[in-house]
Structure 1
Amino acid sequence: MTGSEASPSFKLAYVPGVTPAKWVRIWNERLPDVPLTLVAVSVAEAFDVLREGGADAGFVRLPVDRTDLSAIPLYTETTVVVVPKDHVVAAVDQVSTDDLADDIVLHPLDDTLGWERLPGQPAIERPATTEDAVDLVAAGIGVLVVPQSLARLHHRKDLTYRPVTDAPESRVALSWPEEKTTDLVEDFIGIVRGRTVNSTRGRAPAPAPAEPKAKAKAKRPETGGGARRKPAAGKATGRNPRSGGSGGAKGTKRGKPRRGRS
């Protein structure tokens, strides 16, 4: 038995904004003997980490190159604009991209929305990361349009956010190398998809212990060779009730014979 077989483990990558805690908790309940290690990765490096074996599976943002990676789309995020609390946008429930026409809209290099045309006014240069862009919003340099989970991840007390109704959306998926769809990967897919522990999909559950055979019922003793059971009181015994006694032959009449008619 190899070392990996003796002590299996599972590495799960995740990009910023994804919170894997719920799935990790279920994994630990179902597979307590298989430790799960979380690997935080950037959006840009996530797929290389999977291809190079740095993680068995990972939560990534679409699109995924299906040439060598498998993916299961999980959910689509709401897109929001992050603004200072005293910004005019903070006074409304939601905005459109047209409402941002006069604002400098920051476009970080790790943007996950894939804009065809960025709304608003362009900044002089692009921030390196979303976190850097949030700092610039707090400094009053511009606004930032991101998936809601990233706005929550980089939340600051002096900032707020509102939904943008017509902006591109980011989709989160579970991905893994197609040629490495192991039993443990199947187990994790089952957890993410909400399968029960006894589901027939994925790794087969352990066989249930055999139930003990029922004990054979004790046979009643044969009546032909054993003692007769005493009949209950008041029940017929098969004798003629007019016989008056016991031990007579069947069909023999007892008592006075009737006299013939004269």
Structure 2
Amino acid sequence: MTQSSLTVGYVPGATPAKWVRTWAQRHPNVRLTLCAVTAADAPAEVRDGTVDVALLRPSAETSGLSVIPLYAETTVAVVPTDHLLSAADEITAADLTDEPILLPLDDVVAWADAPGMPIDHRPETTEAAMELAAAGLGVLIVPQSLARLYHRRDLTYRPIADAPTCPVALAFPAGQPSALVEEFTGIVRGRKPSSSRGQAQPAPKRTAREKTLAKQAARAAAGKVASKPGKRRRP
């Protein structure tokens, strides 16, 4: 059966809106449904078919999936607006050495040697950790998009210059993707409509007679140009 709709999953912080708009322009008769998924569950949602394709963070376990890297986010430290670190435009890992660090259970920053002193209590979600950061219980290290997503007036964030970046990727089941998944992948990767796979039809091959007639027409046109008298120069 031909697939008639596409379900796209996306993790918190991912922003598929621009690609959805492009899809609506190119395929107005094919429904695209967005489905919010958690960072931890995103790979399983793709594998079991809950979503056809997902924007996820490849720090999660992605076996059985085709994963296409898209971009990498800046890693930032979230602190109260009156925190000492808020005075700088950018900080380094050394600035966090003596800071208590909040580490939520849904942490997506793959930083093996992260600085600071993790506190014993681990909030269940990044959003819950934001509340603890606002209360001054610790610094929260997250991708910049999550700092923006859960923004609060009493919090700010600063880029960590020497921290690893947080990648975002497009994932779908390994193997031959469906035509709609392949088309969405092309949109995400910036493929133009004229170059989309499956959109342009190959030019039909000419018959031998058509090739002969074309050559005769070309020779006749060349003969007319050669025999055309040129303008005489004035003495």
TM-score w.r.t. the length of structure 2 is 0.82
User: Is 1:116 paired with 2:115?
Assistant: no
1:19-74 residue CA offsets vs partner (Å, 9 max, x unmatched): 10000000000000001000100011000000000111000112465642111101
Structure (1 or 2) with the greater strand fraction: 2
| Structure 2 residue aligned with 1:158 | 154
Aligned Cα root-mean-square deviation (Å): 1.8
CA distance in 2, matches of 1:103, 1:123: 10
Structure (1 or 2) with the greater helix fraction: 2
Trace 1:89-108 onto structure 2 (pairs within 5 A): 89-108=85-104
User: Is 1:205 paired with 2:200?
Assistant: yes
Residues 72 and 168, structure 2, Cα contact 8 Å, conserved in 1? yes
Residues 43 and 62, structure 2, Cα contact 8 Å, conserved in 1? no
Give the deviation of 1:114 after TM superposition.
1.7
Aligned CA distance change for structure 1 residues 190 and 161 (closer, same or farther; 3 Å): same
Of 79, 82, 90, the residue aligned with 1:83 is 79
CA distance in 1, matches of 2:9, 2:59: 16
CA distance in 1, matches of 2:47, 2:24: 25
Identity of aligned residues (%): 52
| Structure 2 residue aligned with 1:127 | 123
Aligned CA distance change for structure 1 residues 67 and 76 (closer, same or farther; 3 Å): same
Q: Gapped runs of 5+ residues in structure 1?
A: 209-262
Of 176, 183, 207, the residue aligned with 2:179 is 183
Q: Gapped runs of 5+ residues in structure 2?
A: 204-235
Higher relative contact order (CA 8 A, sep 6+): 2
CA distance in 2, matches of 1:137, 1:100: 14
User: Is 1:69 paired with 2:65?
Assistant: yes
CA distance in 2, matches of 1:107, 1:9: 38
TM-score w.r.t. the length of structure 1 is 0.73
Partner AA of 2:199 in structure 1 = A
User: Is 1:25 paired with 2:15?
Assistant: no
CA distance in 1, matches of 2:161, 2:23: 36
